[in-house]
Chain A
Amino acid sequence: MFAVSSCVLVALLAGTAPQRGEPATKDPAIEEFNKQVKKYMDLHNKVEHSVPPIDKKRESDPARIVNHQKALSAAIGAARPEAARGDIFRPDVQPVFLKIIKKQLSSGKGPTARAMILGDGNPKSPESPAKVDLSVNAEYPAKAPLSTVPPSVLLSLPRLPDGLEYRFVGRHLILYDASANLIVDVLPNAIR
C-alpha cells in the first residue's frame, strides 16, 4: 500500500516538476553553461561603459540608438576576437539542449511550438526570408526578423540574464545579445 502511494506521489511530483521550471540546474553541464553566460555578460557590461551612452528609456533620436548598437556590437566583437562556436554551447551542454527542445517539440503542444519557431518571423521561413550570417560575433542583420520562441521551450531552457536571448534561425538555435544585436553563440540543428 505504502509502495503504491509512494509511486503515485513520485509520479505526481514528476508530472508537476517541469511545468514552469528550468531544467535541473544541478546538472554540471548546465552549471557550466550558466558560468559561461555570466562570463559573457560581465564582458558585455564592462565593454558597454566604453561606448557612447544613450538614454535607454527615452531616446528621441533613432540614429543614436542605431549608432550605439553598432558601436557596442563592434566593441564586444573586438573584446572577444577568439570567440568560436561552442564556447558557451559547449559540447557537453549541447545534448542537454537538444533533449529539452526535442521533448518540448514532441509534446502535445509540439506542433504549435514548432510552427511558432519556424513560421513568420524566422528568417528562414518563406513568409519572412532574410540572410543571416551565423558566425559568432556577427551582427544580426537589421532587416531580418527575429524568430518567436514558444513559452514551452523558453520555460524549459536555462534562464538567461536580461539582454541575452534564445532565438532560432531556421533550425539553428542562437544565443543573441539583444542590445548589441550580436550573435554570441550557435547551436546548429537544434531542431531535428
Chain B
Amino acid sequence: MRKFNIGLCIVIIFAALLSQAQQVHLPLSKDSLRFAIIGDNGTGDKPEYDVAQKLAAAYAKWPFEFVVMMGDNLYGGESPKDFQNKFEKPYQALLSSGVKFYATLGNHDDPARQVPYKLFNMGGKHYYTFKPKEGVRFFSLDSNYMDKTQLDWFEKELKASGSEWKIVFFHHPVYSSGMRHGSNIELRSVLEPLLLKHGVDVVLSGHEHFYERIKPQKNIHYFIVGSSGQLRRGNIGKSELTEKGFDADNVFMLAVIEGDAMSFQVISRAGTTVDSGMIRRGGKTTSATQ
C-alpha cells in the first residue's frame, strides 16, 4: 500500500511537471501579432484531440488571434459529421473563443466541400491572401494544383502586397528531409523564383507527418508542421537541410511577430517544447533557444 502511494505521488509529480513544461515563453506584448500553426490534423483520432487540447491550454495562457492549417484538414470522409468530429469538436474551445482558422488544401482534402466552408475562412477560393495586421500578409496556396492561373495570381498579389512580412503557406514542402516524401523539387522550381523575387520571409508547409525547421534557404525560413494529428515516427532522414527536427510525437507551433522579429515555439502533445527561437525578417539570423 505504501509502495502504491509512493508510486502515485511520482505519477502526480510527473504529471505536474509535464503540465509545467507547456509554459509558453513567447512575448505577449500589446502590438504583436500572435498566431498558431497546425498541419495534417484532421484525423478525428485521439492525437488530434490531445493536440487541440494543448493548443487550447496554450491559448488560455497566451491568446493568439488565429490558427493557420497546413492542409489534410479532414482525412477520409467529408460528410457533415466528419466536419464536426475532425474539426469543430476538437477545436471547439478555440472556435467558441472567437479564434479564426485559415485553411490551406492538402492532398486529402475535397476542395468543393472545404473551400466554401465558413470556418476555414478561404473566402470561396482554393488560394487566397489575408492581412491580419498592418505590415504582415499571409498567402495560402493550393499546392495540389499549381496551374498558371494560380501562379499568375500569386505573383500579382506578392507584387501588390507591399507588406513587410510575407508569409506563405501551402501543403507540400519544397524543402524537406522526410524519408517518405522529401523535398518537392517540382513545386520548388516554379515557386522559389517568385518567393525570392518578392522577398518572402517565411514558408509554412505540412504533408510530412513530423516537425522540421529547415536551415534558411536563400534567406527564406521554411517550417514543416505536419504532425498535429498524424505522426510518422522516425521519418526525418539525415540531411543537410535540417536545423531542427522532431518526429517522436505530435506537435503544434506558436508564433509572434513584433517589428522585424518572429519568435516561435513548438510544443508537443506531451506539452514539451521541442523547438523555439527567433528569426529576423530578411533571413539574417535564426537563434534557437533550445
Using a CB–CB cutoff of 8 Å, the interface residues on chain A facing chain B are: 20, 22, 54-63, 65-66, 69, 109, 112-113, 116, 119-121, 128, 142-143, 145-152, 154-155, 159-160, 162, 165, 178-181
A155 close to B147 (CB less than 8 A): yes
B148 close to A20 (CB less than 8 A): yes
B215 within 8 A of A: no
Q: Across the interface, which residues of A come within 8 angstroms of B78, CB to CB? A: 62, 66, 142
Using a CB–CB cutoff of 8 Å, the interface residues on chain B facing chain A are: 76-80, 83-84, 107-108, 110-113, 115-119, 123-124, 143-149, 151, 172, 180-181, 184-187, 189-190
Q: Known interface pairs A62-B83, A69-B113. Does A149 touch B144 (Cβ–Cβ under 8 Å)? A: yes
Most buried by B among A69, A113, A146: A146
A121 close to B112 (CB less than 8 A): no
- A174 to B72: give the CA distance in the assembly, Å: 22
**B79 in complex: contacting residue of A55, A57, A142, CB < 8 Å:** A142
Q: Across the interface, which residues of B come within 8 angstroms of A146, CB to CB? A: 107, 110-111, 144
A168 to chain B, nearest CB (A): 11
B108 close to A128 (CB less than 8 A): yes
Q: Across the interface, which residues of A come within 8 angstroms of B84, CB to CB? A: 62
B108 close to A121 (CB less than 8 A): yes
| Chain B residue with the shortest CB-CB distance to A127 | B180
15 pairs, A vs B, C-beta closer than 8 Å: A55-B116, A56-B116, A60-B119, A62-B113, A63-B80, A69-B112, A109-B189, A112-B186, A119-B181, A120-B107, A142-B77, A146-B110, A149-B144, A154-B145, A159-B147
| Chain A residue with the shortest CB-CB distance to B147 | A154
B161 to chain A, nearest CB (A): 21
